[in-house]
Amino acid sequence: MNIDEWKERRREKSLDKVNKELKELKKKGLEFEKGSKQKKEVEVVRNTCSTLKIISIVLAICLIFTIFLYVGRVSNLKSDVESAELSLEIKMLEAANLSSSLSNVSVELENIKKGEDELNDEVLDLIDLRKSLDEEVLDLTKEVDGLKEDVSDLKETIDDLEVNLTRQENLVDDYEDCITSPSGWNQNLDVCDPFL
């Protein structure tokens, strides 16, 4: 079966449907002139006219009701749109406030970071100062230890000098005793030479 045969069958089926519908219309009392392009007359029964009036009135009422519903719905939608716009403006203001508060927080964070950097610099300076002070303390401790050694040396020297002084004093006393003793008096002083 090719396409042309299929098209021909479709055309025949369509013509059969149209012929059946025409026969049914003729049975109902409506006449159509086949193939004429002039005015077609259709007889309308009086009951059909009143039914059409009722249908048109009902349709008009439905149309008016639909228009009222549409107007109410449109006004509701307009109020919804206005409230949505207001809420959008409020949200935009809140977003602007949040962005300004965020910028303030970022500025405060930068200030805190600067303060931390300054504190870190001060801490580093204090650490350097402590190191230098520790070095000075070590130097002073070494100097004090050296001075202690010098003092101990001086004490030993003083002790030695005191011992020598007492020995010299004892020798002088012994020499005086020897000179003034009967054995050394008016005799040769060579006897007292060992005390010198």
pLDDT interval class at 132 (50, 70, 90): very high
In this predicted structure, what is the pLDDT of residue 36?
47
Winning range, highest mean pLDDT, from 21-25, 54-58, 182-186: 54-58
Chain segment 156-175, per-residue pLDDT in tens: 999 999 898 898 888 787 77
Number of domains into which the chain is organized: 1
End-to-end Cα, the chain, rounded Å: 166
pLDDT above 90 (res 131):
yes
Asked if residue 116 belongs to a domain, the reply is yes
Asked if residue 43 belongs to a domain, the reply is no
Q: For 104, how many CA atoms within 13 A lie in the half-sphere containing its CB?
A: 6
Asked if residue 35 belongs to a domain, the reply is no
Asked if residue 47 belongs to a domain, the reply is no
Asked if residue 37 belongs to a domain, the reply is no
Average pLDDT score over residue span 12-27: 83
In this predicted structure, what is the pLDDT of residue 81?
92
Domain range for 65 is 3-27+52-173+176-180
Q: How far is CA 125 from CA 115, 121, 128, 132, 138, in A?
A: 15, 6, 5, 10, 20
Asked if residue 193 belongs to a domain, the reply is no
Asked if residue 16 belongs to a domain, the reply is yes
Asked if residue 112 belongs to a domain, the reply is yes
pLDDT above 90 (res 188):
no
Q: Please state the pTM of the whole predicted model.
A: 0.36
C-alpha 86: how far from its chain's center? 30
